Amino acid sequence: MTDSTGETRPPIPADIRRRVLVEAGHRCAIPTCRYIEVDVHHIVPWAQCQAHEYDNLIALCPNCHRRADRGEIDRKSLRLYKLNLRFAHDKFSQLEMDVLFQLATMQPGYGIPWLSYQTIFLKRLFDSDYIFLHETQSGMWTDGIKSNPDYIGVTDKGRAFVSELGLHEM
Ligand SMILES: [Zn+2]
């Protein structure tokens, strides 16, 4: 396969390509476009990364692909479009993502107070092992409910997920 600079490069492995296409429902990942003919685009250009990694790949139609290549759709925007697809795909709620992003900005050992009987709101984060619950020892109990909050914190896996999204880089 040849890219626009004429260099040869290995094809994108079929399983990675499929995952990228399925993530976008075999349509352009730009939500206002959603055209049905799609290419797989490298967010960080192939010439720079020389790798076919799922996190760096996004499904774009030929038009949006050209616009991305010209820099009319920048990398950060592409990452946000991919992120939106991943929210839908991984089925995290907006609350869960807000909580996870907040926790990921905190130093290890710090957390957010959370009522242990309300962990249901964060069920998918717990199921994914992205966060943990630290239960405090003391506190008053009223009808089986503890008056003082427990704490939630982010796991290494959760931090890795946030940094994988790469929203800090351009
Ligand atoms: Zn498009």
CA–centroid distance, 23 to ligand 1, in Å, is 15
Nearest to 53 by CA among 156, 164, 133: 164
Helix (H, G, I), strand (E, B) or coil at 6: coil
DSSP 8-class letter at 11: P
**Structural domains of the chain, with CATH:** 14-90 (no CATH), 94-164 (1.10.10)
CA–centroid distance, 167 to ligand 1, in Å, is 21
Give the pLDDT of the chain (170 residues) as one tens digit per residue: 444 555 678 999 999 999 999 989 999 999 999 999 999 999 999 999 999 999 899 999 999 999 999 999 999 999 989 988 877 666 788 899 899 999 999 998 889 999 888 999 999 999 989 999 998 877 777 887 777 889 999 999 999 888 876 655 43
Structure pTM?
0.60
CA–centroid distance, 6 to ligand 1, in Å, is 24
CA–centroid distance, 38 to ligand 1, in Å, is 8
